[in-house]
Amino acid sequence: MEKQFLVDEFKLTESWRLFRILGEFVEGVETLHDLGPAVTLFGSARIKPNDPVYKKAEEIAAIFVKAGFAVITGGGGGVMEAANKGAAEAGGASVGLNIKLPFEQLPNTYANTKLEFKYFFIRKVMFIKYAAAYIALPGGFGTLDEVFEVMTLIQTKRVKPFPIILVGSDYWSGLLEWIKARLKDTGMISPDDMDIIQLIDDPEQVVAHVKRFVIV
């Protein structure tokens, strides 16, 4: 009897989890549906305001807003805070999609549209579904996860081939060299797959590259 009770309780818990998942999807879609053209900026939560990377994220976001784009971030500190700050202070839509974590991730104060997620995968859907380009500044595991997820979706034609831009040659060039040597040159990916991702350092050129693909 006790075993059956535990099985039934587990099934009930799983059923309610599905409702929570659906609720997060509904809230995300309802909030972002009318956002308009947008770009998602990825990057580390650990970058400090006095770091040049922080300043560059802030600048890129402001230029995107002036070009008619909304800016979406993960809603936390570091690069995310910088991008939300740049977008908000430029008078644009500054979206923060925060994730509930037991440490490190607290929502920044610069997002003027805020959502909070329990589930990473729903948050990632929102990053991708409502953006027309993906910009990655230096970051850790989370940033790499987000970049490779978008690359995979584009490679497998699950989403349109929107631009993916890495900002920071000194940070990203080693990774791109590894991808070329270990993936492309050994046949693990097609040569054309290298075109999915671009390395651009200048903020104005980042925005100009996206504008070639996206009509605002």
- Locate 185 and state its tokens: 């040159």
CA distance 82 to 18: 34
* Residue type, position 40, single letter: T
For the chain, residues with pLDDT lower than 70 are 1-12, 104-105
Q: What pLDDT digit, counting tens, does each position of 109-132 carry? A: 999 999 999 999 999 999 999 999
pLDDT at 56: 98
CATH topology of domain 36-211: Rossmann fold (3.40.50)
pLDDT at 66: 98
Only one residue has tokens 């879609």, namely 29
Angle between helices 2-32 and 120-129 (to 10 degrees): 20
Domain ranges in the chain?
36-211
153 phi and psi angles, rounded to 5 deg: -65, -40
Only one residue has tokens 């940070």, namely 171
Handedness of CA 59, 139, 195, 216 (dihedral sign): negative
